[in-house]
Amino acid sequence: MSKIETLCEELYHHTPERVCRMLLRPDHVQCETVQGVQNVEMVWSEDDHSALIAAVDPWHGAHIFPGTVVHRVGDALVLRRVVQPLEHAWIDEGRISELAMATLRAAIALGKNILIAGEWVASTELVCQTLAHAHRCMAVLSDDEPAPVAWLRGESVWGAEMAGVDGIAAWGLPSTSVSSVLKDGSGVCARVDAGEIPVALMRLERDLGSTAAQSVTGMLSSLQLVVLLGRGDSAGRVTQICEVVPHGDAYRLQPLFLRGDGFVAHALLPAGMPTFAGALPGVGAGALAEDLRFALPSFKSMPTEAHEPADPVEEPTLPHVSKPRVVSPQPRAFQLAPSPPGTKSPKSRLRDEVARQVMIPDEGPDPGWELDHLGDDIQTEEVQSASDASYAATMAATYGLGPPPKPVRRDDDDA
């Protein structure tokens, strides 16, 4: 086995199913993927390095393995490999949300063009991820650019139209070539090396028209979505997805997905409804339209492709219910019914009943027996009758049936 084959086997062993770039120097081998840069423990001597440099053209890359190209950069060698990654790799790793990836793939199915701004490894792998659902893809590349083995290769959009592909990829091209692919193709997913969306758009505007009006028209007809990949701590993650929409005589960027802040710093959150949401059911993405509507409850209507104003949604109105009036009951004056003629009133009957109970003693022994024990202190009949009258009057006054009795005066002789 040659040294090149051994090197490629090491490359595939450390980076299975990944777009990668390997930097080779004597006794120093580094491999870069979307997950970061790592040192590779392998023997790469000065003789091996010199032999491979002599076999590589300094101006053109050499295809040394399927999907792998080696380049000579100064005194170093750079191996780049592009393979078709797993369809849900980026979603499973949290580099892009499932809703955002579904939006990008639905846009390709509708013939929209997407531009990805980022460094080579991450942006190229995201292009492959976005087109992973397509049945037939074509890569518009230069001769010394790697591409997945199962994809068609071409140098212009004309070949893609002839082959009837449902997805076009473009990377490793100068900005002039990227502008040409976006301007002439549909369902294109291309990449440029830029750290900010305005920078990526200005590079396209420079090649789309000589005047401002031509640049605006060319931009609106060539590009619909822009994706920004993070750098530094957010390297290898989608940080922003915007839609290019008309705005008067110019265009503006409408955010669709944004990377969160604080405790949701690694979450790609929905920020707006795409203008092509009304066309999603036509490509079998009706569930995506419902998910977008659910994720953005503030959008009460879904804009259509022609920006037609949606019919106003009538809010359900509740019938007006007046507050119940509470009427406090008025106190009623209760009066005793008048007694029939010839009868006593209830008050008189009550007074007579009390007086009767007081005056009539209970049944018992003959009250005369107490007089046998009085001896000489026998009360006279006058005093006894006075005492009885006084007792009855006192009880009547106690029950409120009459005035208090008058005191009984005794003569000195009687005492």
pLDDT in tens, 189-217: 999 999 899 999 988 888 776 677 777 88
Q: What confidence tier does 279 reach under pLDDT thresholds 50, 70, 90?
A: very high
CA quadruple 26, 28, 29, 30: dihedral sign: negative
Amino acid 310: pLDDT? 45
State yes or no: pLDDT of 160 exceeds 50: yes
Amino acid 334: pLDDT? 43
Asked whether 189 and 167 are in contact (CB, 8 A), the reply is yes
The residues that bridge with 14 in the sheet, in sequence order, are none
Provide the 10 A C-beta neighbour count for residue 233: 8
State yes or no: pLDDT of 319 exceeds 80: no
Look up the CATH architecture of domain 89-295: 3-Layer(aba) Sandwich (3.40)
> Does residue 170 come out as left (phi exceeding 0), alpha (psi in the -120 to 50 range) or beta?
beta
* Contacts of residue 66, Cβ cutoff 8 Å, sequence gap at least 6: 149
Asked whether 115 and 257 are in contact (CB, 8 A), the reply is no
**3-class DSSP state of 229:** strand
Q: What confidence tier does 110 reach under pLDDT thresholds 50, 70, 90?
A: very high
Mean pLDDT of 388-411: 63
**3-class DSSP state of 151:** coil
pLDDT in tens, 26-72: 888 888 888 888 888 878 888 888 888 888 887 888 887 778 888 88
Q: What confidence tier does 403 reach under pLDDT thresholds 50, 70, 90?
A: low
State yes or no: pLDDT of 383 exceeds 60: no
- The single-letter DSSP state of residue 250 is E
pLDDT in tens, 348-381: 665 666 565 555 555 555 555 555 555 555 445 5
Give the best-scoring range by mean pLDDT among 132-136, 350-354, 399-403: 132-136
More confident residue, 25 or 322: 25
Whole-Å CA distances, 379 to 300, 382, 386, 414: 110, 8, 11, 10
Per-chain mean pLDDT for the chain: 77
Amino acid 108: pLDDT? 94
Nearest to 241 by CA among 255, 261, 230, 253: 255
Number of H helices, E strands in the chain: 12, 15
Q: Give pTM, 2 decimals.
A: 0.68
